[in-house]
Amino acid sequence: MRIDNLQYANWSEKIFRQMREGGVDAVHVTIAYHENFRETVLNVEQWNRWFETYPDLIFHGKWASDVDLAISSNRTAVFFGFQNPSPIEDDIGLVEIWHALGARFMQLTYNNQSLLATGCYEAHDAGITRMGKQVIKEMNRVGLVVDMSHSADKSTIEAAEYSTRPIAITHANPYEWMPALRNKRHDVIKAVTDNGGMIGFSLYPHHLKNKSDCTLESFCQMVADTASKYGIDRIGIGTDLCQDQPDSVVEWMRVGRWSKEIDYGEGSAAAPGFPAMPEWFNDNRDFNNIEQGLRAVGMNDSEVSAFMGGNWYRFYAENFIAA
């Protein structure tokens, strides 16, 4: 079983076929960065068109059992998530609406302060807001998972403690391995995993040691080390693969409509676009490389299997249903 718990590709039949070639049984896709409610609904409509057009390759995944269905029907189950709470605007009632429409993960922040919590790029982290507490409670009730990948440390730790159900960092790596602003410090990973949550490891080059030059061995050793530290059942994949996206999309991710000035995020004026992927992971067909790399650093079959999909499967089964 293979589950990639974060991608934002420029979707096409080519990529859907590559997911089949790479044996990706389920993928959590981002359907909103800065979109408001109506705009995110338009993104669902686009996905519905893809589901209708490519029924032999993909379908809308809503429950863990859909991963089983994907395996038995040789397709990829596509689960929806948001990297920002913008799709609920200022309306807590939209949490349940979104769960009914199939959303399963929602980040409380995307880099900036939101109505709910503080993003990892803010100077001051005020923690979970008044509305944030109400929304976490409602997300817990309906089965929409709190994702803190782009949140600041205090906000993340508070979310892990306040939430009555496990939360996730769907796509980031340990800060100790690669000190990027988006990677997570020990206390943060510990708070999330101690409360039953999971971290999905990212292959976005800005999150990798030596970025695009990161070696497969270094990545896999980091996986094994993190497993030893926090538990083999607390980790999974969240590649953050943004395949075939034009550089205009990374700009949209970074500034949306919140700034008239460009913000380079993890990039720079000299390198504003998407960085090159490491040579051992270019697209969905390369998950075998990771499996081999994990075995090479000493992980056994059951550990590799848990990391490649089994853990997210269990997490889906426990956290997508209503409380």
Binding-site ranges for a copy of itself (CB under 8 A)? 37-38, 41-42, 44-45, 48-49, 91, 93-94, 96-97, 100-102
Token pair 């600041």 in the structure block, residue: 152
Q: How far is the CB of 202 from a copy of itself (least distance, A)?
A: 30
The DSSP line for 294-306 is: HHHTT--HHHHHI
> Are 232 and 272 in contact, with CB atoms under 8 Å apart?
no
Q: Do 289 and 302 form a contact (C-beta atoms < 8 A)?
A: no
Q: Give the three-class secondary structure for 78.
A: strand
SS (H, E, C) 267-286: CCCCCCCCCCCCCCCCCHHH
Closest approach of a copy of itself to the CB of residue 138, in Å: 10
Task: Return the closest-CA partner of residue 75 out of 29, 22, 20, 12.
Answer: 20
User: Residues with Cβ < 8 Å from 88, sequence gap 6 or more?
Assistant: 37, 94, 95, 98, 106, 135
| Between 262 and 323, CB nearer to a copy of itself | 323
Minimum separation from the CB atom of position 43 to a copy of itself (A): 10
| CB 131 to a copy of itself: min, Å | 16
Contact between residue 97 and residue 86 where contact means Cβ atoms under 8 Å apart: no
- Amino acid at residue number 257: R
Min CB(323)–a copy of itself separation in Å: 12
By beta-carbon proximity to a copy of itself, the closer residue of 101 and 297 is 101
Which of 91, 217 has the CB closer to a copy of itself? 91
For a copy of itself, the closer CB: 88 or 241: 88
Reduce the DSSP state of residue 15 to 3 states and report it: helix
Decide whether 71 or 142 has the Cβ nearer to a copy of itself: 142
Residues of the chain by 3-state class (helix, strand, coil), percent to 5: 45, 15, 40
Q: How far is the CB of 112 from a copy of itself (least distance, A)?
A: 25
Nearest to 97 by CA among 162, 34, 38, 33: 38
Nearer to a copy of itself, 41 or 249 (CB): 41
Of 90, 114, 253, 92, the closest CA to residue 171 belongs to: 253
Query: Least distance from C-beta 40 to a copy of itself, angstroms?
Result: 11
For residue 90, the minimal CB distance to a copy of itself (Å) is: 13
Calculated CA dihedral for residues 283, 288, 289, 291, nearest 10 degrees:
130
Nearer to a copy of itself, 100 or 269 (CB): 100
Single-letter code of the amino acid located at 303: E
Residue with smaller CB distance to a copy of itself, 93 or 268: 93
Instruction: State how beta strands 145-147 and 103-107 pair.
Output: parallel
